[in-house]
A = this chain, B = another copy of it.
Amino acid sequence: MSDDTNDFRLEQTGSAAAAAGPEWKPVTRASTYELVIDAVEEQIMAGTLGVGDPLPAERDLAMKLGVSRASVREALRVLESLGVVRSSGGSGRGAGTFIAAMPSAALTRFLRLHVALTNFSIDDVTETRIQLERSSAILAATRADKDSLAAINAQLAMMDTPGISLETFNDADTAFHVAIAQAAGNQLFSDLTGAIRTSLRKSIFSSFSRVDDQQALMAKLQSQHHGIMDAITAGRAEDAAALTEEHIRFAASRLPGLSDT
């Protein structure tokens, strides 16, 4: 990761550094596993490794790169956690490590951890959610096809079912917002929306559990959901965005602990 860190720092202090002369920083020796990651990343950036391609076996890769198998294994764990490779166990056909395309789960874990570490405040996360979901609502109202609308409606129907538990409601609520983002047809949007909503899921659930009249709040939220869906279905893009923002702000204000202020 040292390369990234330097990139970022350079960009942020570029002009100041140029004005103040050479800048001295502690030197860091990159660990061996980082060099292995860099080697894999180079192949990906160059386009010689793409989704579905196999990596050489652990032993071969270690030999090719002149490093220990333990270093290769550490590097592969990191790439796995970033959703960049997946490993299948066993030794038959289909076994081994492959370049993968699984950003969603990785992004979710990343955001969940950093929200828990309060590196991002709940207010910042809520504000980001509002901006992304406003855009998703506008795009969904403009371009959602029948299949995407049906997927959103399925979650609405779920939440309309009388007598469902708070947990089921909360899950369908998350899925409702993710389905709108998916209807917008932008993969990065829907992954970010899904990851952000999912990173808040436990907080929202435990906060909801402490609300006095849960049924009344669920009914209110659900009527807002219907309003958003009606606007999207009718293609009223600006309405859909405004109702989405109102809905998220209302929920944050009513759920204790979900607002920093």
Chain A contacts to B: CB under 8 angstroms: 1, 4-5, 7-8, 10-12, 14-16, 18, 29, 33, 37, 41, 44-45, 47, 50-51, 70, 73-75, 77-78, 80-84, 89, 99, 101-110, 112-114, 116-121, 124-125, 127-128, 131-132, 135, 154-155, 157-158, 168, 171-172, 174-175, 178-179, 186-189, 191-192, 194, 198, 201-202
State the oligomeric state as a number of copies: 2
Across the interface, name the chain B residue whose C-beta is closest to A75: B77
Complex CA distance for A11 and B190, rounded to whole angstroms: 14
Q: A128-B189, A186-B124 are in contact. Are A178 and B119 (CB under 8 A)?
A: no
Contact of A14 among B75, B118, B125, B175 (CB under 8 A): B175
Q: A106-B1, A107-B110 are in contact. Are A45 and B124 (CB under 8 A)?
A: no
Across the interface, name the chain B residue whose C-beta is closest to A127: B186
Contact of A1 among B105, B131, B155, B192 (CB under 8 A): B105
Chain B residue numbers with a CB within 8 Å of A73 are 70, 74
Report A259 CB to chain B, min CB distance, Å.
Answer: 14
Chain B residue numbers with a CB within 8 Å of A102 are 5
Complex A-B: 20 CB contacts under 8 Å: A1-B105, A4-B105, A4-B106, A5-B102, A10-B171, A11-B171, A11-B178, A11-B198, A45-B112, A50-B117, A78-B81, A82-B109, A84-B113, A101-B117, A101-B119, A124-B188, A124-B189, A127-B188, A128-B186, A128-B192
From DSSP, what is the main secondary structure of chain A's interface residues? helix
Additional A-B contacts beyond A50-B118, A81-B81 (19; CB < 8 A):
A5-B105, A8-B108, A12-B178, A14-B168, A15-B155, A45-B116, A47-B116, A70-B70, A77-B78, A78-B80, A83-B114, A84-B113, A84-B114, A84-B117, A103-B114, A103-B120, A106-B110, A119-B187, A120-B191
Asked if B15 and A158 make an inter-chain contact with CB atoms under 8 angstroms apart, the answer reads yes
Asked if B8 and A194 make an inter-chain contact with CB atoms under 8 angstroms apart, the answer reads yes
Report A11 CB to chain B, min CB distance, Å.
Answer: 5
Chain B residue numbers with a CB within 8 Å of A41 are 113, 116
Report A211 CB to chain B, min CB distance, Å.
Answer: 21
